[in-house]
Each structure stands twice: as C-alpha cells, then as structure tokens.
Amino acid sequence: MELLQYHIKCRKNEVNQAVLLPGDIERADYIGTNFFRDSEKIVENREFHIYNGRYEDKPVAVCSTGIGCMSAAVAIEELTNIGCKYFIRVGTCGSLSSQINPGDIIIATGAIRGDGASKEYISIEYPAVADYRTVTTLRNRAKKECANYNLGIIRTHDAFYMESPFAFGDYKKRVSIWAEAGTLAIENESSTLFVIGSLKKVQVGAILVAAGNLISGEKGTKEELQKSIDKAITIASGALVDLQKREEKRI
C-alpha cells in the first residue's frame, strides 16, 4: 500500500494526472461540479478539496491550494508524490498595468519570487519560470476562446495587506518598481508552484483573471468577473487536455 499523503489524504494514482489549482476551496467545488463530466469529490480536508472528472475526452482533476505559497507548496508536492504531472493554477490577481482592465485574462510566463516558501527550496537567483509548453498551450486555447489575454511576468508575494487596495499605507509606492518593470499583475501562489515544477520536473502554468486594477483602483462587477473566471477555467481545462494529447503524440 502506497503512502497516504499527509495533507491531501490521497494515495498513488488516486488523483488524475492533470490538475487545475484554484486557491479558493469554493472554486474547486464550482469547477468539479460545473465544468467536469462524471465528476467525483474524493477529498475534503483543511483547504484541500479534490475532484476527479473528465473534460472533453481526457481525465482531469481539481485541487484547491488555499491562499499563499505555503499551502500551495504542500498541495503540489503531495500531488506530485502520487503521480500528477500537469498543473495549471487558475485564480484572480490585481492588475499592475494600465493596459489590463478588471476581467482581463493573464497567462504568466514567470513570476517574481516575492514569496518565502520558494526560498527554502532554492536560492533566489533561480528563476520561477512557467513551463513553456503549458504557456503555449494556454495561449492557443485562449486564442480559440477569443479571450482578451495578456502574456508576461507576474509578481507573487506573501503579505496581502501590504500590496492590495486594502493595504496599510501607500501600497502604490510599494508596487511601483514592479509596475515600471512591465509586471502584469500581483498574486500569491505562482512563483513557488513554478519553482517546484522545475525542481520536480512536472509541468506548471498559471492563468489569472484581473479582479481589479491596483494602480487605477478600478474594480470589476461580480458578474463580469465570474464570466471571465469561467472563461479562464475553460481555457485551463482545455489546456490540460492538449498537454496530455501532446505527450501521447510524442511517445
């Protein structure tokens, strides 16, 4: 009997190998229930809700990570231990660019390592880079969906109340260095997921929806955001299908 993973309470091969990684528990439930066929909830423990299901003609899964790199690292480590290979984070972020409005979609090519967890893995010079095949597949699916998408570097950090519209003091000043460098948006999980992906040789990408613009202060309505999030989930699920097909073709 293979080892039961400490937090996600699963064993080898119990979770399908292509996994969506939302932060929010409820978004995992929403994806499992509304986007997958033949879906089955297999775990509900702490911030980790896991569903297996099918999308188009391929097996897929979803697992919530909770907020932040600490719990996201636990999720991807344990999922990798039981055989998962393809990961796409689906989440929300704050736009840092005047070109990116609330509801717009962002595909990350890499992330600024403003988090603490990834530093425990490898020194800070090492790049948090998304898998280029996953980026390309996400982009192809985004084009198919006619989504208004942006491709580039994002910032991952730990302290929400230092860099958000709800932050203490002058948060715009704190993020201006990153905005001037062409950073598209800020969020809380991707950098560690990317670093662990490179270290464990699994494919990791991220697709995000701008919930608001941190510079202009503009926010989207709940309905508009949900529409964009649905689109991002559709693109990411499709990408998980394409990545599996691509691997089969190669073999």
Nearer to other proteins, 49 or 113 (CB): 113
Distance CA 97, CA 81 (A): 37
CB of residue 188 to other proteins, shortest distance in Å: 14
Tokens 């597949």 belong to 137
CB of 126 to other proteins, least distance (A): 5
Residue 56 region, left (φ>0) first, then alpha (ψ -120 to 50), else beta? left
Q: Which of 3, 214, 192 is nearest to 93 (CA)?
A: 214
Q: Which two tokens stand for residue 24?
A: 């929010």
Q: Per CB under 8 A, does 203 bind other proteins?
A: no
Q: Does 116 bind other proteins (CB under 8 A)?
A: no
| Residues making up the chain, counted from first to last | 251
Q: Which two three-digit tokens encode residue 193?
A: 């997921």
Task: Name which position in 27, 49, 58, 113 contacts other proteins (CB under 8 A).
Answer: 113
Answer yes or no whether residue 140 interacts with other proteins by CB under 8 A. Answer: no
Instruction: Give me the phi and psi of 76, to 5 degrees please.
Output: -70, -35
Residue 170-199 contact track with other proteins, rule CB under 8 A, x = bound: -------x---xx---------------xx
Closer CB to other proteins, residue 20 or residue 129? 129
Per rule CB under 8 A, is residue 135 in the interface with other proteins? Answer: yes
Q: Does 205 bind other proteins (CB under 8 A)?
A: no
Binding status of residue 124 toward other proteins by CB under 8 A: yes
Report if residue 126 touches other proteins, rule: CB under 8 A. Answer: yes
Contact set for other proteins, span 142-171 (CB under 8 A) = 151-153
142's enclosing H/E stretch is helix 132-144
Question: Of 137, 152, 160, nearest to 106 (Cα)?
Answer: 152
Nearer to other proteins, 111 or 211 (CB): 111
Asked if 120 is part of the footprint of other proteins (rule: CB under 8 A), the reply reads no
Query: In 56-97, at which residue ranges do the beta strands (DSSP E only) sit?
Result: 58-63, 86-95
**Closer to other proteins by Cβ: residue 3 or 181:** 181
Nearest approach, Cβ of 230 to other proteins (angstroms)? 25
Rounded Cα gap, residues 11 and 54, in angstroms = 20
* Residue whose C-alpha is closest to residue 47's, from 70, 23, 79, 80: 23
| 114 touches other proteins (CB under 8 A) | yes
List CB contacts of 67: < 8 A, sequence separation 6 or more.
Answer: 23, 47, 160, 188, 189
Shortest Å distance, C-beta 179 to other proteins: 12
**Alpha-carbon span 52 to 243, nearest angstrom:** 17
How many residues touch other proteins under the rule CB under 8 A: the total is: 27
Under rule CB under 8 A, residue 117 binds other proteins: no
* Residues forming the site for other proteins (CB under 8 A): 109-114, 122-129, 132, 135-136, 139, 151-153, 177, 181-182, 198-199, 201
